[in-house]
Amino acid sequence: MKMAKFRMVRTEFWDIPMVSEEMTPEDKYFYLYLLTNPCTTQTGIYKITNKRMAFDMGYTIESVILLIERFISHHKLIRYNPETRELAMKYWGKYNLERGGKPMMDCIISELKGIEDLSLIQYVSETIQKQDIRSLYESFWKQAANGKYDVTNAYIDTEIQEMDDTLTEPSTNGSRN
């Protein structure tokens, strides 16, 4: 099931002490991008490449890698698995999963089934305040802990490794950067 593709950013975003006091303008731009880019999902865990982020934001891949590393190590707001190219937003559930309902739950279930690095599900679930949604996330990663799934904990907390980040989508200018 496909939910409406929009993301809401609360005006309180600018009042969060980490955002207002600790983030550079570049950090704020990157954080807004991570919250609202076209690859986001209802779960707060989505596949995205460094190349895609660089293209969308007008940055170099090297700049994106440094920003990811900063958001993992310094701000502690994301996890990124360079092998599966999945990114998880720590506080996604706190701000985006306040309401449930069958259509949203069905969408979340469908998206959770597609996540390769199930440790990212646990990471996002820690800040979900709505109990029925949190329980849904927990059921997915607990199944993995019980051996039902092969969980890889391949994200890098302190260093982002450069990987082949070849764009699988057609380029607009005919070249493969």
Q: Report pLDDT digits (tens) over 45-104.
A: 999 999 999 999 999 999 999 999 999 999 999 999 999 999 999 999 887 877 667 888
The model's pLDDT over 148-171, given as tens digits with 9 standing for 90+, comes to: 544 343 333 323 344 445 444 444
Contacts of 14 (CB under 8 A, 6+ apart): 20
**Percent of the chain, pLDDT > 90?**
57
Q: Which amino acid appears at position 92 of this protein?
A: W
pTM: 0.79
Token pair recorded at residue 63: 């700049």
Question: What are the extents of the domains in the chain?
Answer: 14-145
Token pair recorded at residue 51: 């190349």
Which uninterrupted H or E stretch holds 94? helix 92-96
Smallest CA-to-CA distance from 116 within 71, 159, 86 is with 86
